[in-house]
Amino acid sequence: MFEPVTAWKMRCAAGRGPGFRRAAGAYRRRCIASAVAAILAATAAIACCKGSAPPSFSGPGAFRFLEEQCGLGPRFPGSPGHEAVRRYIAGTLERFGAQVSLQPFDAVLSTGDTLRGVNIIGSFRGGDRTRVLLGAHYDTRPRADRERDPANRLKPIIGANDGASGVAVLLEMARLLGESKPRVGVDLVFFDCEDYGEEGSTGDYILGSRHYASALAGRRPAAVIVVDMVGERGLRIPVEGFSEAASPALCAKVFSIAASLGAAGFVRERGPAIIDDHFPFIQAGLPAIDLIDFDYPFWHTLEDTPDKCASESLAAVGAVLVRFVWDRR
């Protein structure tokens, strides 16, 4: 605490003897320095109360994460790439300062087989009760069943858009969360076994998110946003059908942010209803939405490769998520 100016003047008037002016000048400088320090401290406290400004999402940075995943090869459960990408995601989260935990689970398929999966969770501000969950699946399709040539339909896909794009957005979010803390807790959840099932067997899809949602207990997020197939060139994200029906307020908020940012690709019109990793959270009574461009001609084919994706698409989605998270109170 600095001394009031009036007290300083009184002490100067009472001063006597040699060195008085030098001592008075030194005392005045100390008073001024103390005042400046107090003002700076008050300014910092005000800034802290208001929260930090939203950081800038890097589309090129996210695209590097996409390419690095694809460089590991197909990443379906049981493959070498699957184990490698799990280590890659967990290591990247730890590097950015997240509290990392793994959630293993067994899922019984309609065929009677048991599929072993592992969800990956990266938490920031782990002690905060108010939390936002951002999710994406990290596994890729074990078969290219949309290939025109039947000889190629049993080959696994690289999954640049269907798999790597959502993970890439979340990993870039992890970098930002490690550098610039928002005012809420954030859980980045990388779901396993989303895309393993045969077409028509809906019960064999979204296995990781089903398990995660069933084990929430008291850790129920205030909002859930899943990103899937968000890297396509010429991105176009309408309002997913189940999201609009079950979580209209959350949809309105996210698409309002997109409009205010001029985020390319977000279209405020009703799209198809898609069973994706947001669906178990809707069933659990939570506000949950899916950001997805399902109109993708290379879906479940060998052509789902990085050259079909663009950093600008990842940047548009990432910018909306950043604003949503950093605006939360």
Q: Following DSSP, what letter does each residue of 241-252 receive, concatenated?
A: HHHHHH-HHHHH
Q: How far apart are CA 148 and CA 144, in angstroms?
A: 9
The DSSP bridge partners found for residue 288 are 224
* 95-99, 107-111, 182-186, 216-220: range with lowest mean pLDDT: 216-220
Cβ atoms of residues 24 and 13 within 8 Å: no
Query: What pLDDT sits at residue 244?
Result: 98
Structure-block tokens of residue 229: 């197939």
Task: Read off the pTM.
Answer: 0.84
Give, for 316, the enclosing helix (H) or strand (E).
helix 311-327
Lay out the sheet containing 223-228: strands in order across: 99-108, 114-124, 185-191, 131-137, 223-228, 288-292
pLDDT cut 90: percent of the chain above it: 79
pLDDT > 70 in the chain, percent: 84
Angle, helix 80-95 to helix 165-179, in steps of 10 degrees? 20
Query: Count of residues for the chain?
Result: 329
Which pLDDT band, with edges at 50, 70 and 90, does 4 fall under?
Answer: very low
Sign of the CA dihedral with 322 first, then 276, 278, and 93 last: negative
Q: Which residues contact 69 (CB under 8 A, 6 or more apart)?
A: 75, 85, 88, 138, 163, 164, 167, 168
Contact 63, 230 (CB under 8 A): no
pLDDT at position 53 over 90: no
**Short-list 169, 12, 190, 207, CA closest to 90:** 190
Task: Report pLDDT digits (tens) over 300-318.
Answer: 999 999 999 999 999 999 9
Question: Would you say 78 and 109 are in contact if contact means Cβ atoms under 8 Å apart?
Answer: no
Q: Kindly give, in sequence order, each residue whose CB lies less than 8 Å from that of residue 90, ignoring residues fewer than 6 positions away.
A: 100, 102, 120
Does 58 score more than 80 pLDDT? yes
Beta strands in the chain (DSSP E): 99-108, 114-124, 131-137, 185-191, 223-228, 237-239, 266-270, 288-292
With cut-offs at 50, 70 and 90, classify the pLDDT of residue 20. Answer: very low
The DSSP bridge pattern shows strands 185-191 and 114-124 to be antiparallel
> pLDDT for 76-126, tens place per residue?
999 999 999 999 999 999 999 999 999 999 999 999 999 999 999 999 999
- The residue with tokens 């460089």 is 71
- Predicted confidence (pLDDT) at residue 160 exceeds the cutoff of 70: yes
Q: DSSP letter at 53?
A: P
53-327 CATH choice from 3.90.550.10, 3.40.630.10, 3.40.50.300, 3.40.50.620? 3.40.630.10
Structure tokens belonging to residue 189: 């959840």
96 to each of 89, 132, 189, how far by Cα in Å? 11, 18, 15
DSSP state of 174: H
pLDDT of residue 11: 35
Cβ-based neighbour number of residue 165 at 10 Å: 33
Closest C-alpha to 104, from 217, 204, 188, 211: 211
Strand partners, 186: 124, 132
Under DSSP, the state recorded for 232 is B
Average pLDDT over residues 176-198: 96
For the chain, the average pLDDT equals 88
